[in-house]
C-alpha cells in the first residue's frame, strides 16, 4: 500500500509537473550565488539582478576581487543587499583559496562557507550535483505541517529529518520542488487557495491546528 507521503507526492506531480528550481543559473557557482541572494526575497527579484552580476563576475576569482561598492550596486534592488554583497565576496574568497575556485560537493564543506547554512547546502547538493538532499525552506516547512507529514511544533531541522524518514530517497529532490510550487502558488502562507484542494479531508490547517 502507498504511504501518505507518496500519495501526496503523486498528487503534487499531477498538479505541478513543471515544478523546478526557479533561480536562473548556468553552473554551480551561479546557483550558489543565486541561492545566497535569495534569502528573504523572491526568486523573481534575484533573477533580475543575476544576469548583469554574472556578466561582471563570472567566477569565484573575479568575484573575490570585486570592489564591494560595485558588487552592492549590482544587487542593490534586492533586500539586505549590503550583507549579501559581503557574503558573496567572502564566499568567493573561500572558494578560491580553499577549493581551487570550485564549489565543493560535500555538505560539511558547503556549510563551512560564509552565508551557507543547511538549506543552501541542501539546495546546492540537490540542484547543483544531483545528490539526494531535501532542503527545507519556509514553503516546505509550512506545507508539510499543513499536510500532517510533520508535527506543527517541529523545528526546521526536525522537519528535514522527518521528511527524509517518510519520503523515499529517490523522491527527495522532487519533493522539495513540489512542496515549494504548492506553497508558492496554492497553499500560500496568507489566504491559501483551499477550494477544491485534494488534501482538504486531512488538512491540519483547516482543522485550525497549524498556521
Q: Which of the residues are catalytic? A: 119, 137
Give the residue with the Cβ less far from ligand SF4, 26 or 209: 209
Give the residue with the Cβ less far from ligand SF4, 65 or 200: 200
User: Which span sits near ligand SF4 by CB under 6 A: 13-21, 102-110, 131-139, 193-201?
Assistant: 193-201
Using the structure block, give the residue that is written with the C-alpha cell 513543471.
Answer: 18
Q: Which of residues 69-108 bind ligand SF4 (CB under 6 A)?
A: none
Q: How far is the CB of 140 from ligand SF4 (least distance, A)?
A: 13
Backbone angles phi, psi at 32, to 5 degrees: -60, -45
Give the residue with the Cβ less far from ligand SF4, 70 or 200: 200
Residue of 7, 164, 203, 208 interacting with ligand SF4 (CB under 6 A):
203
Other beta carbons less than 10 A from residue 118's beta carbon: 16
- Separation of alpha carbons 74 and 53, rounded Å: 6
Which DSSP symbol is given to 202?
G
Q: Which of residues 127-146 bind ligand SF4 (CB under 6 A)?
A: 146
Q: How far is the CB of 54 from ligand SF4 (least distance, A)?
A: 36
- Separation of alpha carbons 78 and 57, rounded Å: 18
If one asks whether residue 181 binds ligand SF4 (CB under 6 A), the answer comes out as no
User: Which span sits near ligand SF4 by CB under 6 A: 16-24, 120-128, 159-167, 190-198?
Assistant: 190-198
If one asks whether residue 15 binds ligand SF4 (CB under 6 A), the answer comes out as no
Residue of 115, 128, 148, 192 interacting with ligand SF4 (CB under 6 A):
192
The footprint of ligand SF4 (CB under 6 A) covers: 146-147, 186-187, 192-194, 197, 199-200, 203, 205-206
Amino acid at each position: 500500500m502507498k504511504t501518505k507521503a507518496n500519495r501526496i507526492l503523486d498528487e503534487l506531480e499531477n498538479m505541478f509537473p513543471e515544478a523546478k528550481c526557479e533561480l536562473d543559473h548556468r553552473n554551480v557557482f551561479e546557483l550558489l550565488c543565486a541561492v545566497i541572494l535569495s534569502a528573504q526575497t523572491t526568486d523573481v527579484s534575484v533573477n533580475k539582478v543575476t544576469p548583469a552580476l554574472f556578466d561582471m563576475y563570472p567566477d569565484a576569482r573575479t568575484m573575490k576581487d570585486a570592489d564591494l561598492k560595485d558588487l552592492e550596486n549590482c544587487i542593490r534592488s534586492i533586500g539586505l543587499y549590503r550583507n549579501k554583497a559581503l557574503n558573496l565576496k567572502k564566499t568567493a574568497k573561500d572558494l578560491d583559496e580553499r577549493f581551487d575556485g570550485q564549489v565543493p560537493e560535500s555538505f560539511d564543506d558547503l556549510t563551512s562557507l560564509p552565508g551557507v547554512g543547511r538549506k543552501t547546502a541542501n539546495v546546492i547538493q540537490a540542484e547543483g550535483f544531483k545528490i539526494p538532499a531535501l532542503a527545507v525552506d519556509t514553503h516546505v516547512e509550512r506545507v508539510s505541517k499543513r499536510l500532517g507529514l510533520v508535527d506543527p511544533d517541529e523545528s526546521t531541522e526536525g522537519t528535514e529529518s522527518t521528511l527524509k524518514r517518510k519520503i523515499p530517497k529517490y523522491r527527495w529532490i522532487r519533493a522539495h520542488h513540489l512542496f515549494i510550487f504548492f506553497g508558492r502558488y496554492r497553499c500560500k502562507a496568507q489566504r491559501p487557495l483551499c477550494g477544491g484542494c485534494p488534501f482538504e479531508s486531512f488538512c491540519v490547517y483547516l482543522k485550525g491546528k497549524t498556521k
